Amino acid sequence: MTATIPPAAPSPAPSPDAASSTASPHALAPAPAKLPAVTYVLTAGTFLMGTTEFVVAGLLPAVAADFSVSIAAAGLAITVFAIGMIVGAPTMALATLRVPHRVTLTAALLVFAVGHAIGALTPDYAVLLGTRVLTAIATGAFWAVASVAAVNAAGPRASSRALGIVLGGGMLANVLGVPLGAFAGQVIGWRGTFWALALLAAVLSVVIARSVPGTSPADEPAPAPSADGPAPAPSIRAELAALRSGRLWLVLATCAMVTGGVLSIYSFISPILTDAAGLPQAWVPAALMGFGIAALIGSVLGGRMGDTHPLATPLVTSIATLVVALALLQFAAVPAAALVLFVLLGLVGLSANPVLVGLANRYGGESSTLATAMPTSIFNLGTAIGTGIAGAGLASGLGTRGPLLVGAVGAALVLIPLGLLILRERGAHPVR
């Protein structure tokens, strides 16, 4: 609540407290709301989920050797996870509309734990791929609900901060989770990394069950009626109607191309650095950490730039990504250049993602849960297609140049839907 200043009138001399509040305008501002502990519990969940998607990128040689498959085939563990996320994010957003948040989040973590335990035990590569799909669907369910649960728990005064922290768990996974998982895999084996993820998820499921309120959209107070009548209750028909925007689909196509290009290179960085650049395997976790830190910085900078330049920011970063990808294609055999360019790819390659998510929310309707979940699904569609083609390129005569070539082509294709969106926006709002 904010203080109310009474109208001027004859009154007794003000007290020292009143004088101090009048002298300092900051004394009238409400103190920032404290975030509830559940915010950080949910952040731990998004950290685990973000770690598992790409931790395999640092474990490819070990996984390939254990199952006697090629490194390109081992890369399918990343591709199929992305496919599971394509299905899981929008499907779970709809399926859990009326399910209590606590139930959805706890179940997602338990399925995640079981999937990693089975993956750590199985001697069959097909079973491992199946567990990757299963854990991806669980990840989609968690991501679809965690943001809403965080906002509800924090309240309106702290909802933006809570959302930023929870989603930041996924970005932190790129900075710490993936390189630490890759390092652990070198020390205790890739199965040890999977066991660690399973154990952490099982423990976190208990914490979630005890700390997240058992609410769902159906339990929340109905929105106040507008001048046009009462606000509609959550429904699948209303959610699907939000997907009619042509601009939304241009943004989603851009999302797919961005991740398709960047993550084609990221997912196969282990063979690129060891085979093409001749670096020892011990350098891979450090390279992944450098990419993650750069991506975190780029995401923050890109988000700030996107507040004032929502279309120019993706355009500039896409052109920069194309330049870096082409440079990697040219200088991948030079160890120092390969490392520096890979970190630069992290800085520019994913920096427009917060802007693209914001544009998707704007064009799809900010009240649509499905429109909010669609970028996650489409990012993973790009990942699935890009890594699938990149793996085929790696297995071909192109070798390590295959993923690099796919990454460069993907970076160039970003400019097509993004350019169409910019032209459409300029046509709707001509410069005078």
Tens-digit pLDDT profile for residues 157-193: 665 567 667 777 887 888 889 899 988 998 999 999 9
For the purposes of burial, counting CB atoms within 10 Å of the CB of 3, is it exposed (0-12), middle (13-18) or buried (19 or more)? exposed
Asked, for residue 6, whether it belongs to a domain, the answer is no
229 forms beta bridges with 226
Asked, for residue 321, whether it belongs to a domain, the answer is yes
Is 167 in the same domain as 288? Answer: no
Is 249 in the same domain as 160? Answer: no
Is 81 in the same domain as 117? Answer: yes
* Cα–Cα separations (whole angstroms), residue 407 to 209, 308, 374, 387: 41, 29, 23, 9
Among 51-60, 157-166, 237-246, 262-271, which range has the highest average pLDDT? 262-271
Is 194 in the same domain as 287? Answer: no
Q: Give the orientation angle of helix 190-211 with respect to helix 37-54, to 10 degrees.
A: 160
Asked, for residue 17, whether it belongs to a domain, the answer is no
Among 16-20, 353-357, 365-369, which range has the highest average pLDDT? 353-357
Distance between CA atoms of 222 and 234, rounded to whole angstroms? 10
Arithmetic mean of pLDDT, 75-94? 84
More confident residue, 205 or 221: 205
Arithmetic mean of pLDDT, 138-146? 84
Is 178 in the same domain as 270? Answer: no
Q: What does the pLDDT read at residue 163?
A: 64
In sequence order, what are the residues at sequence separation of 6 or more whose Cβ sits closer than 8 angstroms to the Cβ of residue 371?
239, 242, 243, 248, 360, 361, 363, 364, 365
Q: What does the pLDDT read at residue 170?
A: 80
Give φ, ψ of 268 to 5 degrees: -115, 25
Q: What does the pLDDT read at residue 214?
A: 67
Arithmetic mean of pLDDT, 39-65? 90
Q: What does the pLDDT read at residue 159?
A: 59
Q: Which of 1-5, 168-172, 299-303 has the lowest mean pLDDT?
A: 1-5
Q: Which of 70-79, 83-92, 215-224, 347-356 has the lowest mean pLDDT?
A: 215-224
Is 186 in the same domain as 272? Answer: no
Q: What does the pLDDT read at residue 309?
A: 87
Distance between CA atoms of 361 and 260, rounded to whole angstroms? 21
- CATH code of the domain covering residue 103: 1.20.1250.20
Arithmetic mean of pLDDT, 325-345? 96
In whole angstroms, what separates CA 131 from the centre of its chain? 21
Asked, for residue 112, whether it belongs to a domain, the answer is yes
Token pair belonging to 155: 């309240």
Arithmetic mean of pLDDT, 22-51? 71
Q: What does the pLDDT read at residue 20?
A: 43
Is 320 in the same domain as 412? Answer: yes
Distance between CA atoms of 387 and 361, rounded to whole angstroms? 27
Q: What does the pLDDT read at residue 2?
A: 38
Arithmetic mean of pLDDT, 395-411? 94
Is 198 in the same domain as 293? Answer: no
**Stretch (H or E) spanning 138:** helix 125-154
Q: Which of 11-25, 111-125, 375-389 has the lowest mean pLDDT?
A: 11-25
Q: What does the pLDDT read at residue 15?
A: 44
Asked, for residue 21, whether it belongs to a domain, the answer is no
For residues 192 and 185, is the Cβ–Cβ distance under 8 A? Answer: yes
Distance between CA atoms of 348 and 209, rounded to whole angstroms? 38
Is 151 in the same domain as 258? Answer: no
Q: Give yes or no for residue 14 having a pLDDT over 60.
A: no
Q: What does the pLDDT read at residue 369?
A: 57
Is 211 in the same domain as 249? Answer: no
Q: Give yes or no for residue 372 having a pLDDT over 80.
A: no
Q: What does the pLDDT read at residue 171?
A: 78
Asked, for residue 276, whether it belongs to a domain, the answer is yes
Predicted TM-score (pTM) of the model is 0.74
Q: Which of 65-79, 224-238, 241-255 has the lowest mean pLDDT?
A: 224-238
Is 209 in the same domain as 246? Answer: no
Q: Give yes or no for residue 28 having a pLDDT over 80.
A: no
Q: What does the pLDDT read at residue 287?
A: 94
Asked, for residue 58, whether it belongs to a domain, the answer is yes
Domains in the chain, number: 2
To the nearest whole percent, how much of the chain has pLDDT over 70?
80
Is 416 in the same domain as 329? Answer: yes
Q: What does the pLDDT read at residue 238?
A: 59
Provide the residue range defining the domain that includes 53: 35-216
- pLDDT band at 368, cuts 50/70/90? low
In whole angstroms, what separates CA 333 from the centre of its chain? 31
More confident residue, 270 or 224: 270
Arithmetic mean of pLDDT, 218-226? 46
Domain end: 199, 216, 233, which one? 216
Q: Which of 16-20, 100-104, 147-151 has the lowest mean pLDDT?
A: 16-20
Asked, for residue 270, whether it belongs to a domain, the answer is yes
